[in-house]
Structure 1
Amino acid sequence: MFKLHRPRARLRALAAAACTAALGATLLGVAGMSPAGAAPAAQPAATPAAAEAVPTAAGDKVIGYFTNWGTYDRNYHVKNIETSGSADKLTHINYAFGNVTGGKCTIGDSYADYEKAYTADQSVDGVADTWDQPLRGNFNQLRKLKKLHPDLKILWSFGGWTWSGGFGQAAQNPAAFAKSCRDLVEDPRWADVFDGIDIDWEYPNACGLTCDTSGRDAYGNLLGELRKSFGTDLVTSAITADGSDGGKIDAVDYAGAAKHLDWYLPMTYDFFGAWEAKGPTAPHSPLTSYPGVPTEGFNSDAAISKLKSLGIPPEKLLLGIGFYGRGWTGVTQSEPGGSATGAAAGTYEAGIEDYRVLKNSCPATGKVAGTAYAHCGTDWWSYDTPETIGTKMDYKNEQGLGGTFFWELSGDTGNGELIKAIR
Structure 2
Amino acid sequence: MLMPLGALVALASPAQAAEQATATFSKPSDWGSGFEGKWTIKNTGDTTISGWTLKWDFPTGTKVGSAWDAAVTNSGNTYTAKNMSWNGTLSPGASVSFGFNGTGTGSPSACTLNGRPCDGSGGGTPDDAPPGAPGTPTASGITDTSVKLNWGAASDDKGVKNYDVLRGGTKVATVTGTTYTDSGLKAGTSYTYSVVARDTADQTGPASGSVTVKTTGGGDGGGEPGEYVNLGYFTEWGIYGRNYHVKDIVTSGSAEKLTHINYSFGNVQNGKCTIGDAFAATDKAYTAEQSVDGKADTWDQPLRGNFNQLLKLKKMYPHIKVLWSFGGWTWSGGFPDAMKNPAAFAKSCNELVNDPRWEGLFDGIDLDWEYPNACGLTCDTSGPAVMRTMAQAFRAEFGDQLVTAAITADASSGGKIDSADYGGAAQYLDWYNVMTYDYFGAWDKTGPTAPHSPLTSYPGIPNQAFNSDAAIQKLKAKGVPAEKLLLGIGFYGRGWTGVTQKEPGGTATGAAPGKYEAGIEDYKILKERCPANGVIAGTAYAHCGNEWWSYDTPATIAGKMDYAKQQKLGGAFFWEISGDTANGELITAIHNGLNR
Please indicate the TM-score interval, normalised by the length of the shorter structure: 0.7 to 0.9
Question: Which runs of structure 2 are paired with 1:295-374 in the superposition (5 Å)?
Answer: 295-374=463-542
Paired position in structure 2 for 1:186 = 354
Aligned partner letter, 1:310: K
- Residues 71-122 of structure 1: per-residue CA shift (max 9 Å, x gap): 0000000000010011000000000000000010000000000010011111
- Whichever residue aligns with residue 233 of structure 1, its letter is Q
**SS in structure 2 at match of 1:166:** helix
Matched, 1:168 2:316: no
The alpha carbon displacement at 1:222 in A equals 1.3
Question: Structure 1: any 5+ residue segments left out of the alignment?
Answer: 1-56
Partner of 2:203: none
Which residue in 2 is equivalent to 1:223?
Answer: 391
Q: Is the 8 A contact 1:58 1:401 kept in 2?
A: no
Query: 8 Å contact 1:175–1:225 — kept in the other structure?
Result: yes
**Alignment of 1:418 onto 2:586:** yes
| Alpha-carbon displacement from aligned partner over 1:208-229 (angstroms, at most 9, x marks no partner) | 0011011111121111111111
CA contact (8 A) 1:171 1:219 kept: no
| Counterpart contact for 1:346–1:352, Cα < 8 Å | yes
| Partner AA of 1:395 in structure 2 | Y
The question of 1:232 aligning with 2:437 is answered: no
Of the candidates 451, 454, 458, which is equivalent to residue 283 of structure 1? 451
1:137 to 278, 285, 305: 305
Q: State the SS of the aligned residue for 2:574.
A: strand
Q: TM-score, structure 1 length as denominator?
A: 0.86
Note the alpha carbon deviations across 1:283-317, whole angstroms, 9 max, x for none: 00000000010111100000000001111110000
Compare the two structures and name the one with the higher strand fraction: 2
Contact 2:456 2:469 in 1 (8 A): yes
Q: Which amino acid aligns with 1:139?
A: F
Amino acid corresponding to residue 256 of structure 2 in structure 1: D
CA distance in 2, matches of 1:68, 1:311: 34
Q: Out of 291, 297, 317, which is 1:149 matched to? A: 317
Aligned to 1:398: 566
* More helix, by proportion: 1
Instruction: For structure 2, list consecutive stretches of 5 or more residues without a partner in the other structure.
Output: 1-224, 592-596
Cross-structure match for 1:271: 439
1:113 lines up with 2:307 in the alignment: no
Corresponding residue of 1:241? 409
Deviation per residue, 1:225-260 (Å, 9 max, x gap): 111110000000000000111110000010000011
CA contact (8 A) 1:58 1:403 kept: no
Does the CA-based 8 Å contact 1:236-1:263 persist in structure 2?
yes
Secondary structure class of the residue paired with 1:65: strand
What CA distance in whole angstroms lies between the structure 1 residues aligned with 2:261 and 2:357? 19
CA contact (8 A) 2:449 2:504 kept: yes
- The residue identity in structure 1 corresponding to 2:291 is S
Does the aligned pair in 2 maintain the 1:58–1:315 contact within 8 Å?
no
**1:45 corresponding residue in structure 2:** none
Which amino acid in 2 is paired with 1:229?
E
| Corresponding letter in the other structure for 2:381 | T
* Partner residue in 1 for 2:254: 86
Aligned-partner SS, 1:63: strand
Q: Aligned equivalents of 1:218 and 1:391: distance in 2?
A: 35
The answer on whether the counterparts of 1:343 and 1:351 sit within 8 Å (CA) in structure 2 is yes
2:229·2:260 contact (CA, 8 Å) conserved in 1? yes
Identity over aligned pairs, percent: 72
In structure 1, the residue corresponding to 2:458 is in which secondary structure? coil
In 2, distance between residues paired with 1:245 and 1:122?
A: 49
CA root-mean-square deviation: 1.0
- Quote the offset at 1:58 in angstroms: 9.9
How far residue 387 of structure 1 moved from its aligned partner, in angstroms, is: 0.3
Distance 1:215 1:82 in 2: 43
Answer 1 or 2: higher relative contact order, Cα 8 Å, separation at least 6: 1
What's the TM-score once normalised by structure 2's chain length?
0.61
Aligned to 2:549, which of 373, 381, 404? 381
The whole-number CA distance in structure 2 between the counterparts of 1:170 and 1:295 is: 34
Equivalent AA in structure 2 for residue 386 of structure 1: P
- Which residue of 253, 256, 260 corresponds with 2:421? 253
Match of 1:66 among 221, 224, 234: 234
CA contact (8 A) 1:58 1:400 kept: no
* Structure number, greater radius of gyration: 2
SS in 2 for 1:374: strand
Q: Deviations for 1:293-345, whole angstroms, at most 9, x for unmatched residues? A: 01111000000000011111100000000000000000000000100010000
1:182-221 alignment, distance < 5 Å: 182-221=350-389
Q: How far is the alpha carbon of 1:381 from its aligned partner? A: 0.2
Question: CA separation in 2, counterparts of 1:59 and 1:336?
Answer: 36
Instruction: For 2:446 and 2:365, locate their aligned partners in 1 and report how far apart those are by CA, in whole Å.
Output: 39
Instruction: Say which SS state the counterpart of residue 393 (structure 1) adopts.
Output: helix
Q: Which residue of 2 aligns with 1:98?
A: 266
Q: State whether residues 346 and 353 of structure 1, in contact with CA within 8 Å, keep that contact through their aligned partners in structure 2.
A: yes
Q: Distance in 1 between the 2:352 and 2:274 partners?
A: 7
Residues 67 and 96, structure 1, Cα contact 8 Å, conserved in 2: yes
SS for the counterpart of 1:311 is: coil
Moved over 6 A (4+): none
What is the SS of the residue equivalent to 1:86? Answer: coil
State the alpha-carbon separation in 1 of the partners of residues 396 and 226 from structure 2. Answer: 24
Structure 1 contact 323–407 (Cα < 8 Å) conserved = yes
Measure the CA separation in 2 of the matches of 1:366 and 1:397. Answer: 24
Q: Distance in 2 between matches of 1:167 and 1:124?
A: 34
Alpha-carbon shift at residue 59 of structure 1 (Å)? 5.6
d(CA) in 1 for partners of 2:340 and 2:392? 13
SS at the partner of 2:373? coil
1:191 deviates by 2.2
Q: Secondary structure at the match of 2:446?
A: coil
What is the distance in 2 between the residues matched to 1:233 and 1:159? 19
Q: Secondary structure at the match of 1:290?
A: coil
Alpha-carbon distance change, 236 to 58 in structure 1, aligned in 2, over 3 angstroms: farther
* Mapping 1:42-53, distance limit 5 Å: none
